[in-house]
Chain A
């Protein structure tokens, strides 16, 4: 197994890329199955989410277990503006991203000084707050009518519908471009593929940028980073904003694809899946996140196919596989060079007499 991955990383021939690109481009024609194209679409959505979380978790090293909240903000922004105001999806994509980023800045600014597990707990809390707020819709604000003088608002608040409560929002418009409406799974396949390709390209650039290096320093040693002239608060905030913006765009794409969204699509479990995608695949590594997405999204689907009659075993196998991974390969399936070094150094320091 180890050898296999080493060889895979070592290979660098142009042919490899050509073959891979051909398979990816022709995938809907090869499989000729709506279901597997659909699985591929899920893969793309989660790949985007994983890559966006990778900015926060991988590059900046901030433990974030509430990423579904940003995903939800993007999806609901698109759903609400699309159903109420008929704004076209392609206009909503950037709007959803920007709103998710603003939301992320607002909630992360007060908690940025927290470290490690503490930050993690608070982000779990934020994720849940968002989901519950979506479930309750505006009716949860009906208590405001108890304030003397505001009683006249009671009826309006109790009947107002914005997020649709537990039912969510239906009838979200589909994307259209030059008269072409995206309807089939394979239409979305190419739309999502384009977005994922762009995301990968952008992440590559980000890794090598000044900001990317600043994130690495903050992750390694915040104090030293500050002593180098890096505004650590600013840099961490940017990680949250960029990660959230990308998750928001993914949410917007998701909403326009399934056309029905509900709070349960953005549960804590979703945040856990995204977290696992990054950690299992390889923290801070773009190919790692893609491999992790295969493991977390595509593999369960494959298992569903194979073990149809014992479906309830699915999660058990899944859990066992995760524990196995953490023991055998804690650096992830396809780790970034840097992260592997970090682990190796930590291990060396932990062994006495080395």
Chain B
């Protein structure tokens, strides 16, 4: 059974029909990526899964349980965590305080929080160096590390990343993607939304291509990388 299964998801922003029947699955241990242009519905899909947006139709099943309609703050307790688009770190708190907030759902379990913090610092040594720095003064790449680190603090089974490469230099993108692979190797399933299709498909096991709220193509990432349509539309090749 798939860890996450989304069936025929329809979502609206006001009258705008943003998702027109999205279906996808994510198996335990996989990295799955959603690629597509701006406004294709990638972020909307993530927001529906994390409960920030209530889909009008369709079903989201996580670990055998239907979770659509469950409020966002409870989704975290079920093992899904999101590093939202635009990072959304708490810019006036220190790095350490941000990480602590990520572990909010763990309550007062200090041992678990400490273990998770060590794990995050091992993945992002830079965050440990800057743990007392105000998050708003970090560089873009460091803020992205913090956003991912904060999401990991709740020890999710499924980590959802929304455009982690946004606004970062190519070298940093490579470093971040390398870390995502490491996170995945530690047993965390990853659902990755990206505009940087090439990097995302190189990293992922499988991919879905979204266009105006529909999935137009899906398959193993390697195949998508070789697909002519994808190459033309998303990888900038002629």
Task: Name A residues whose Cβ lies closer than 8 Å to a Cβ of B.
Answer: 210, 213-214, 216-217, 220-221, 223-232, 338-339, 341-342, 345
The 3 closest A-B pairs by CB, nearest first: A229-B76, A229-B105, A224-B88
**For residues 62 through 97 of chain B, which have their beta carbon under 8 Å from a beta carbon of chain A?**
71-74, 76-77, 81-82, 84, 88-93, 97
Q: Which residues of B contact A341 (CB under 8 A)?
A: 91-92, 134, 136
Known contacts A228-B73, A230-B73; 7 additional CB pairs below 8 A are A220-B91, A221-B90, A226-B72, A227-B84, A229-B105, A230-B104, A345-B91
Binding site for A on B (CB under 8 A): 50, 52, 71-74, 76-77, 81-82, 84, 88-93, 97, 100-102, 104-105, 107-108, 134, 136, 150-151, 154
Determine the distance from Cα of A213 to Cα of B101 in the docked complex, in whole angstroms: 8
Choose among A220, A224, A226 the residue that contacts B92 (Cβ–Cβ < 8 A): A220
A227–B91 CB distance below 8 A: no
Residues of A within 8 A of B81 (CB): 227
Residue of A with least CB distance to B92:
A341
A213-B100 contact, Cβ under 8 Å, with A338-B92, A341-B134:
yes
B90 touches A229 (CB 8 A): no
A–B Cβ pairs within 8 angstroms, 28 of them: A213-B97, A213-B104, A216-B93, A217-B101, A217-B104, A220-B91, A220-B93, A223-B52, A224-B88, A224-B89, A224-B90, A226-B73, A227-B76, A227-B82, A227-B151, A228-B73, A228-B76, A228-B150, A228-B154, A229-B76, A229-B104, A229-B105, A231-B73, A231-B74, A232-B73, A341-B91, A341-B134, A345-B136
How far does the Cβ of A287 sit from chain B's closest Cβ, in whole Å?
A: 19
Q: How far is the CA of A226 from the CA of B104 in the complex (A)?
A: 10
How far, in Å, is B117 (CB) from chain A's closest CB? Answer: 15
Write out the residue numbers on chain A whose beta carbons fall within 8 Å of the beta carbon of B104.
210, 213-214, 217, 228-230
Which residues of A lie under 8 Å from residue B93 when comparing CB positions?
Answer: 216, 220, 338
Q: In the complex, what residue of chain A is closest to B150 when comparing beta carbons?
A: A228
Q: Give the residue name and chain of the A residue nearest to B72 (CB).
A: A226
CA distance A270 to B52 in the complex (A): 38
Q: A216 contacts which chain B residues (CB < 8 A)?
A: 90, 92-93
Other-chain residue from A213, A223, A229, A339 in contact with B88 (beta carbon distance below 8 A):
A223
Is A231 touching B76 in the complex (CB atoms < 8 A)?
A: no
Counting chain A CB atoms within 10 Å of each CB, which of B101, B107, B108, B154 scores highest? B101
Given A229-B76, A229-B104, A229-B154, A224:B136 Cβ within 8 A: no
Name the A residues within 8 Å of B52 (CB-CB): 223, 226-227
Verify B84–A223 contact, CB threshold 8 A.
yes
Which listed residue, B74, B90, B136, touches A217 by the CB 8 Å rule? B90
Q: How far is the CB of A115 from chain B (nearest CB, A)?
A: 16
Nearest chain A CB to B107's CB is how many angstroms away?
Answer: 8
By a CB distance below 8 angstroms, the chain A residues around B101 are: 213, 217, 225, 228
Q: Within the assembled complex, what's the spacing in Å between the Cα atoms of A167 and B9?
A: 62
A214–B76 Cα distance when bound, in Å, is 15
Our pick among A220, A226, A231 for the contact of B90 (Cβ within 8 Å) is: A220
Q: How far is the CA of A210 from the CA of B97 in the complex (A)?
A: 11
| Least CB separation from B89: chain A residue | A224
> Chain B residues with Cβ under 8 A from A224's Cβ?
84, 88-90
Q: What CA separation (Å) do A280 and B74 show in the bound complex?
A: 38
Report how far A61 CA is from B104 CA in the complex, Å.
Answer: 19
Say how far B121's CB is from chain A's closest CB, in angstroms. Answer: 19
Cβ–Cβ contact B73 & A229, under 8 A: yes
A229 and B84 contact, CB distance less than 8 A: no
B91 touches A228 (CB 8 A): no
